[in-house]
Amino acid sequence: MIDINKVRADFPILKQTINGKPLVYLDNAATGQKPQVVIDSIVNYYSTLNANIHRGVHTLSQKATDAYELARFKIQKHFNAKQNYEIILTAGTTHSINIVATGFTTLLQKGDEIIVSAMEHHSNIVPWQMLCERTGAILKVIPMNLDGELIMTAYDNLLSNKTKLVFVNHVSNALGTINPIKEIIDKAHKIGAAVLIDGAQACPHIKPDVQALDVDFYVASAHKLCGPTGVGILYGKEEWLNKLPPYQGGGEMIKQVTFEKTTYADLPHKFEAGTPNIAGVIAFGTALDYLNNLGFNNIAAYEAELLDYATKKLLQIEGLKIYGTSKSKTAVISFNIGNIHPYDIGSIIDKLGIAVRTGHHCAQPIMDFYKIPGTVRASFSFYNTFEEVDLLYNALVKAKTMLS
C-alpha cells in the first residue's frame, strides 16, 4: 500500500507553490521528481566522497569506485541481468540507443531490414534512420490502431529472413500503451533478429526482468525513476555487447594504447569512455532502493486506481477526447478538448499551478496518425493524489470556458 502522505513528504519540490497555487505536477512522463534521499545522496557524494573512479590508488578514489560499482550492482539486481558487466552506465536512454545504433553499422548490410513501431519516441526513430543511411538497410514500421495498440498481425507480416533488428518501446510516452514486448521479442528471435526495448517510460511503473524477457538490449533513463538527469543504462546480453564496437574512444575504455594500435577494455568499460556522472550513478542506486522499498506492485496498484479515477473524471468534460485507449496502459492521459489548441490549455492551467506537457511529445508520427497537432498530456506518478485529479478537472473546465 502507498501511504500517500508519507510518500509526498519525501519529495520537497511538491511543497512548492507555482503562480501562487500549490504545485500539481503531472508531467512525470517528461521527468520524475526526486525524493530527499536521492538529493541527499548527491550532496553526500560531493561533501564526502568526491574523487575520480577506477584509477586512483588513494583511499578516497577507492571509496568512490566502490560506491559507483555498488550502484551498478543495484541496477543489475533491479533489472535481473545475469552479469554486472552487462549493465553499461550511460548518460540516458538516447545515449544508450545511439551506442547500439552506431555499433550496428559494422553488422548490417545493404538490403537488411530493421523494424520499429509507429509509436516510438524520436530517440527510437532517428538513430535507426541514421543507421539506415550509413548501411543501406531498410526501415519498416509496425502500424497501430486507433486505440493506440500495435497491430501484431502486421508485425508478423513484416518479419522475414531479412530482418536483423527490432526496436520497440515498452510503454509509449505519448499514449501510455504497454506493448506486448515478450511476444515481440519471441517472434523476432524465431527468425534470428535482435531486439532492443526502449524502457524509458515503462521503468517508472514496471520492474522489467531482462532474463525472463530474453531481451537483447534494454535501455532506460534514471531521471524518470526518481534519479538524476544525465544517467541511464544500456543492458545488453554479453554476446551482443562483445559483438558491438566501442562507441566513443578515450580514457577508461582501453587495455593498452600505443600509436600503432589500441586494444579495448573488457565489458562494461569498453563502452564507458571518460569520467562518468559518478554522483548521478550513485544517486540512481539510491533511487532504485527508494522505489523498491515502496514496491513496484504497490506503485502499479495505486497508479492504476489513479488512472481509472482520472479517466472517468476527465471524460465528464464535454468534447474531451483521449488518445491511447488501450486497456493495457500506464497512468498517462493524452487528450484534446474540441478544437482548442493543446498549448492554450497548458498555458492556462499552468497559471493555476498545474504542470502538464503539451505538443507532440517527441512522437510526431503518432500525431500525424491521429491528424492532430499535439495533445495535452497528464502523466501521473505514485506521489500524485486523487485531489490533484480534481484540481486538474476544475482547471480544465475553467480553461475550456475561457477558450470556447
What positions carry a catalytic annotation?
362
| C-beta of 49 vs 172, nearer to ligand PMP | 172
Q: Rule CB under 6 A: say whether 76 interacts with ligand PMP.
A: no
Alpha carbon distance 31, 38 (integer Å): 15
Please count the residues of this chain forming the interface with ligand PMP, following the rule CB under 6 A.
Answer: 13
Matching residue, cell 475561457: 402
| Beta bridge partners of residue 378, listed in sequence order | 333
In the list 41, 173, 358, 375, the residue contacting ligand PMP (rule: CB under 6 A) is 173
For residue 286, state whether it binds ligand PMP (rule: CB under 6 A).
no
Q: Does position 375 bind ligand PMP by CB under 6 A?
A: no
Task: Compare residues 92 and 276 and give the one whose CB is closer to ligand PMP.
Answer: 92
* Interface map 195-234 toward ligand PMP (x if CB under 6 A): ---x-xx-------------------x-------------
Nearer to ligand PMP, 102 or 201 (CB): 201
Cβ closest to ligand PMP, residue 31 vs residue 385 = 31
Backbone angles phi, psi at 379, to 5 degrees: -120, 130
177 touches ligand PMP by CB under 6 A: no
Q: Per-residue DSSP letters for 178-223?
A: BP-HHHHHHHHHHTT-EEEEE-TTTTTT----HHHHT-SEEEEEGG
What is the Cα–Cα distance from 361 to 367, expressed in whole angstroms?
9
Q: Of these, 28, 41, 76, 169, which contacts ligand PMP (CB under 6 A)? A: 169
Cβ-count burial of 252 within 10 angstroms (0-12 exposed, 13-18 middle, 19+ buried)?
Answer: middle
67 forms beta bridges with none
Closest CA to 113 of 50, 68, 161: 161
Binding segment for ligand PMP (CB under 6 A), chosen from 121-129, 289-297, 311-319, 368-376, is 121-129
Q: Do the beta carbons of residue 197 and residue 235 sit within 8 Å?
A: no
Give the single-character DSSP code of 246. P
Per CB under 6 A, 94 contacts ligand PMP = yes
Name the residues that contact ligand PMP, by CB under 6 A: 92-94, 121, 123-124, 169, 173, 198, 200-201, 221, 362
